[in-house]
Amino acid sequence: MRPRGEGIVRPRTAASALLRLVLFAVLGLFVLYYLLPLLVMVATSLKPLQEILTGSLISLPHQVTFDAWGKAWNTACVGVRCDGLAPYILNSALMAVPAVFFSTMIGAINGYALTKWRFPGADTIFALLLFGCFIPFQVILLPMARSLGLLGLAGTLSGLALVHVIYGIPFTTLFFRNFFITVPKAIVDAAKIDGAGFFRIFFRVLLPLAPSAFVVTVIWQFTQIWNDYLFGVSFTAGDSNPVTVALNNLVATSTGVTEYNVDMAAAIIAALPTLFVYAVAGNYFLRGLSAGAVKG
């Protein structure tokens, strides 16, 4: 997204200079609008509880303390277990890494086979896969819960990872198909004439062209899977909960006074991995969003 060559509002006259000022004021207000909740979260997490109960939501902490962070990390109670969020962060990581890896690899080879070896029916198969992007997952919750039970995976992290791989395939296939379709057919044809086969062309010719498609897909999948709540709450139990479910339980678990500082520290901890990814690779994140947007 490059800025266009020439803007429409140009600072030439006093009136347009004023317009420019208004423009920046409005943009600045919205910067505050989006940042304030995050600042409130950080400030609250650094205050002692007494200061929260007597002070103001938007004031900076007088007395900075990291106690709430420590507690949110490994002593806060989630349900009856009081080990903080740390074990659930580990759960999410153990589940997300293989789920992202397998769904991305499957999507890559699918996208390649569907675009560069267009067998009869390839478009129909793609359309049927694509449908999986749009269904409300409520419609598969009951049979999935039952199937995981039959497979002996009910309430396990492996079961949750499997679910994420399955319902990630439509998205990853979409991303890679849209990428590989832009790769000129001539490149593949030249490799074929050189005698390269299906897998050789994939690994030696197409994959080296696709690092950006991989980054976009991995970021999309990681964000989706890390932030998922519906599958996590439906298919895991207690010790196998991912971090989103644990965070919600932590906030809901209150014995006596609600510790808002611990809640906020926990929320930031749960958000940090995806925020970090967004901070270092925001443009790829945006491309994933718009790629997902092309077809809804």
Partner 1 sequence: MRTDGRRLLANPETWLPRLVVAPSFAVILVFVYLFILWTLYISFSHSGVMPNYRFDGLAQYIRLWHTPRWYVALANLGIFTSLFMIGCTAVGLLLAILLDQRVRAEGVIRTIYLYPMAISFIVTGTAWKWILNPGLGIERVMQSMGFTGFHFDWLVDSRMAIFTVVIAGVWQSSGYAMALFLAGLRSIDDEIVKAAAIDGAGAFRTYFRIMLPMLRPVFLSVFVILAHLAIKSFDLVVALTNGGPGYSTDMPATFMYAYAFQRSELGMAAASAVMMLATVMAVIVPYLWSELRAGRQ
> Which of the residues 61 through 90 are near partner 1 (CB under 8 A)?
none
Q: Give every CB contact of residue 24 below 8 A, 6+ residues apart in sequence.
A: none
Q: Does 290 bind partner 1 (CB under 8 A)?
A: yes
Q: In terms of Cα–Cα distance, which of 167, 163, 179 is closest to 217? A: 179
Shortest Å, Cβ 11 to partner 1: 10
When computed from its CA atoms, the radius of gyration of the chain, rounded to whole angstroms, is 24
Nearer to partner 1, 214 or 222 (CB): 222
- Interface with partner 1 by CB under 8 A: which range of 60-68, 73-81, 153-161, 258-266? 258-266
Nearer to partner 1, 177 or 213 (CB): 177
- Site for partner 1, residues 270 to 289, rule: CB under 8 A: 270-271, 274-275, 277-278, 282, 285-286, 289
Residue 8: other Cβ atoms inside 10 A: 5
Quick one: which of 86, 94, 105, 140 contacts partner 1 (CB under 8 A)? 140
Nearer to partner 1, 157 or 267 (CB): 267
**Main-chain dihedrals φ then ψ at residue 151, nearest 5 degrees:** -80, -5
Q: Does 93 bind partner 1 (CB under 8 A)?
A: no
- Site for partner 1, residues 209 to 228, rule: CB under 8 A: 223, 226-228
Q: Is the dihedral of CA 106, 108, 111, 113 positive or negative?
A: negative
CA distance to 35, 83, 237, 238, per residue, from 249 (Å): 26, 13, 12, 10
